[in-house]
Amino acid sequence: MRIACPFCGSRDLREFSFLGDAGAAGAGLPGAGPGAGPGAGAEAGADAGPGAGPDADAGARAEAVYLRDNPAGRHRGLWYHEAGCRSWLAVTRDTRTHAIFAVELAREGAR
Amino acid sequence: MPEAASMPGTSRPGTSRPGTPSPGAAAEASLRPVPAFGGLAASSPDGRLVVREREGLGLATVTARRGRGGDLAEVLRASRGLVLRPGPTVSRAGDLALVGTGPETWFAVGAGGGWRFSRALAATLAGLAAVADQSSGYGVLRLSGPAVRAVLAKGVPVDLHPSAFAAGDAAVTLAGHVGIVLWRAEDRADGEEAFDVAVFRSYAESFRHWLFASAAEFGLADGPAPGPGTAGAVSRPA
């Protein structure tokens, strides 16, 4: 599998490490909601998801922290270009075929 | 460089820590620079691959402060005459080169100056970028000759064909398992391609081992490299 890094271009899989579901990044942190990218929680503010804050329902909070969808198909995940430009990328791919539909910097201006 | 070979077993001189420091010397006190690859200089017998350490460089990482990338480019243009190209490319002006290593991030290479290079660059870019000295952190090798791409291809997972990696292109990537910053240098006077490779100092021996193993088929042999300008150099760091 090769990933087309927005900065570096097409690169081999060995340069990247996989973090997990992009939509779950920061789950359980105050202010983090579904779909929030890394570090975006603070800006998301009022857009609090099920994992938001200490007052959130414990069951919903545990679910947000620990439970992940495991789709056979389209999935948006976070990848770190560790051996390259060290950017966090959000990669949308098909988990069955590894076909990649989209690659973007996880946050505009991220390094 | 002192003749280390003539003083086996002695401790390294020149670390600027005299017993009685002279007033004012402390501000400029620094360690004596030691090349990461021990001044490596080697060539295959037919000259298809030439390896030479670039010594005494000033090296620094430059990261633009948030939203100041445009101002940084303008200051570099005005003060150094350097036109900053976007993406993984090399921008050059005189003795200064900026290698694009990430979004709004560069590896700056100066022809000399050591740690003083980063101090001057930081002053130029004050308020616009974080500049961190890397002069003693990396070793830089110049690889050139008609076999250079064949050798690099054995461990670098990037397409280095001239149609994909043209003059002035750069990449942060791997050689074997060693992280490298790789960029196309100016072609040699005879028109042969040249690449510069920056490797963390602590990986110098691992990289050298990989390089010589990969270049063995071209006859690149381990051992002292005689020749002008390499007197006293050793191929293997001690």
Residue of B nearest to A13 (CA): B157
Contact A105 B103 (CB under 8 A): yes
Give yes or no for residue A38 having a pLDDT over 80: no
B76 and B189 fall within a common domain: no
B159 and B65 fall within a common domain: no
Per-residue tokens: B131: 């500049």
SS3 state at B145: coil
B151 and B179 fall within a common domain: yes
The confidence band for A29, taking pLDDT boundaries of 50, 70 and 90, is low
B141 and B125 fall within a common domain: no
Chain A interface test: which of B66, B163, B172 (most A C-beta within 10 Å) = B172
Last residue of a domain, one of B134, B151, B167: B134
Last residue of a domain, one of B134, B156, B187: B134
Structural Rg of chain A based on CA atoms: 15
CB contacts, 8 Å: B88 with chain A: 7-9, 85
B69-80 vs B115-124: helix crossing angle, rounded to 10:
110
Identify which of A8, A15, A109 has the shortest CB distance to residue B88: A8
What pLDDT sits at residue A111?
36
What pLDDT sits at residue B194?
97
Write the pLDDT tens digit of every residue in B112-133.
888 899 999 999 999 999 999 9
H/E element, A92: strand A88-94
In chain B, which stretches have pLDDT less than 50? 1-19, 21, 225-238
Give me the CATH number covering residue B67: 3.30.70.1520
Of all residues in chain A, what percent carry a pLDDT higher than 70? 68
B146 and B112 fall within a common domain: no
Sign of CA dihedral B55, B39, B149, A86: negative
Backbone angles phi, psi at B203, to 5 degrees: -100, 5
Calculate the alpha carbon distances from B117 to A34, A43, B11, B15, B129 in Å: 46, 38, 28, 20, 15
Is residue B89 domain-resident?
yes
Is residue B236 domain-resident?
no
What pLDDT sits at residue B227?
46
What pLDDT sits at residue A54?
62
Task: Using alpha carbons, select from B107, B111, B108, B104 the residue that is nearest to residue B128.
Answer: B104
Is residue B233 domain-resident?
no
Is residue B28 domain-resident?
no
Question: For chain A, first and last CA: distance in Å?
Answer: 23
Tell me which amino acid residue A76 is.
R
Residue range of the domain that includes B153: 38-55+137-218
What pLDDT sits at residue B168?
95
Write the pLDDT tens digit of every residue in A82-103.
999 999 999 999 999 999 999 9
A87 lies within 8 A of chain B by CB = yes
Contact B173 A15 (CB under 8 A): yes
Is residue B119 domain-resident?
yes
Write the pLDDT tens digit of every residue in B176-199.
999 999 999 999 999 999 999 999
Contacts of B216 (CB under 8 A, 6+ apart): none
Residue of A nearest to B175 (CA): A83
Tell me which amino acid residue A48 is.
A
Task: Using alpha carbons, select from B160, B168, B164, B155 the residue that is nearest to residue B206.
Answer: B155
B75 and B124 fall within a common domain: yes
B179 and B194 fall within a common domain: yes
B148 and B208 fall within a common domain: yes
* Residues of B within an 8 Å Cβ radius of A: 63, 66-67, 87-88, 101-105, 157-159, 171-174, 179
The Cα–Cα gap between B237 and B230 comes to 14
B141 and B212 fall within a common domain: yes
Contact A85 B172 (CB under 8 A): yes
Per-residue tokens: A95: 């988990």
SS3 state at B139: strand
B161 and B69 fall within a common domain: no
B88 and B181 fall within a common domain: no
Is residue B117 domain-resident?
yes
Is residue B143 domain-resident?
yes
Q: What is the pTM of this model?
A: 0.80
Last residue of a domain, one of B103, B134, B165: B134
B128 and B189 fall within a common domain: no
Task: Using alpha carbons, select from B174, B149, B175 the residue that is nearest to residue B163.
Answer: B149
- Tally of domains within chain B: 2
What pLDDT sits at residue B144?
97
